[in-house]
């Protein structure tokens, strides 16, 4: 059986669309469709139901389980060929945009002084890029992965508190601000929903940076990462009892994890980036 057919099937199943798979594989969407049709012809039955997103049939689920070790092995083989002590080439790092702006970008001069011949490719997005499929070499994530051939190491812990502009008059009914969209379900926002359950938010935004700027502008109080709040002008931490927050426990902290596929962890240039990331001992804000 042709490897390209299996690789295409795995990409569609993992990424959830023919379009995304075609971009990841660097082929046309018609090629992806042709590969799937050929594979299903060999199988003698459908493997994917053409829904949005595509849904695996029972045989498709079985095939995906069989193909995944092959994908991992192919990645390991490629890593073995790349395993040289000469620190040249490119490393792809994926994380959220706030992490890039607040923590990584200021430290890039230090990185390039240490590794002048390495190239960094940074994907700043909320979507979790697949380390197993080789879309990225290293990831910074707010959740420790539970499955797959991934190795995770905690880089630091981000702590949170209520913040307001120093000019804002505090009282039990002060307006509060929060997160929405892709961040509506994160721990901090769920905590804020409970803390201010008796009154609706004045403003909801879809990224932590905008939330912090709204707090700085005096629009209300919000839960922010302490590291990020320290970068804002005239923004101070405020006690929950002064703003009418109904809480019975502390705001949970969040661990930031550096994650790499097991097959990549010993590639010298990847290890160099991992060592650089491991020096992030400060706790800046987190956005996802």
3-class DSSP assignment, residue 147: coil
Over the stretch 242-263, which tens digit does the pLDDT of each residue have? 999 998 788 999 888 899 887 7
pLDDT greater than 60 at residue 187: yes
Question: Is 60 exceeded by the pLDDT of residue 287?
Answer: no
176-187: b or e for each residue (b if 16 or more CB lie within 10 Å)? bbbbeeebeebe
> Is pLDDT above 90 for 279?
no
pTM: 0.62
Q: 169 is written with which tokens? A: 């008059």
* pLDDT classification of 273: cutoffs 50, 70, 90: very high
Give mean pLDDT, residues 231-236.
Answer: 94
Is the pLDDT at 284 greater than 50? The verdict is: no
| Neighbour-count burial for 189-225, b at 16+ CB within 10 Å, e otherwise | bebbeebbeeeebebbbebbbebbebbbeebbbbbbb
């Amino acid at each position: 059986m042709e490897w390209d057919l299996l690789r295409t099937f795995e990409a569609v199943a993992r990424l959830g669309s023919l379009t995304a798979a075609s971009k990841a594989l660097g082929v046309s969407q018609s090629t992806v469709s042709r590969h799937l049709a050929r594979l299903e012809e060999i199988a003698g039955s459908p493997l994917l139901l053409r829904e949005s997103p595509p849904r695996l049939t029972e045989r498709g689920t079985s095939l995906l389980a069989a193909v995944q070790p092959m994908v991992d092995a192919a990645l390991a083989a490629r890593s073995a060929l790349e395993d040289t002590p000469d620190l040249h080439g490119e490393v792809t790092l994926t994380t959220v945009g706030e992490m890039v702006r607040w923590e990584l970008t200021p430290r890039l001069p230090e990185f390039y002084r240490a590794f002048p011949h390495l190239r960094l490719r940074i994907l700043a997005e909320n979507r979790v890029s697949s380390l197993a499929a080789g879309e990225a070499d290293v990831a910074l994530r707010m959740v420790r992965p539970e499955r797959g051939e991934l190795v995770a190491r905690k880089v630091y812990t981000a702590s949170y508190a209520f913040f307001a502009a120093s000019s804002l008059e505090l009282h039990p009914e002060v307006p509060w601000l929060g997160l929405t969209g892709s961040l509506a379900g994160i721990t901090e926002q769920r905590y804020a929903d409970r803390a201010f359950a008796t009154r609706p938010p004045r403003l909801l935004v879809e990224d932590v940076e905008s939330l912090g700027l709204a707090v700085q502008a005096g629009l209300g109080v919000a839960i922010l990462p302490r590291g990020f709040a320290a970068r804002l002008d005239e923004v101070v931490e405020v006690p929950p009892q002064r703003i009418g927050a109904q809480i019975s426990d502390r705001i949970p902290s969040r661990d930031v994890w550096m994650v790499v596929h097991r097959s990549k962890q010993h590639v010298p240039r990847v290890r160099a980036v991992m060592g650089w990331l491991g020096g992030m001992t400060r706790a800046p804000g987190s956005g996802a």
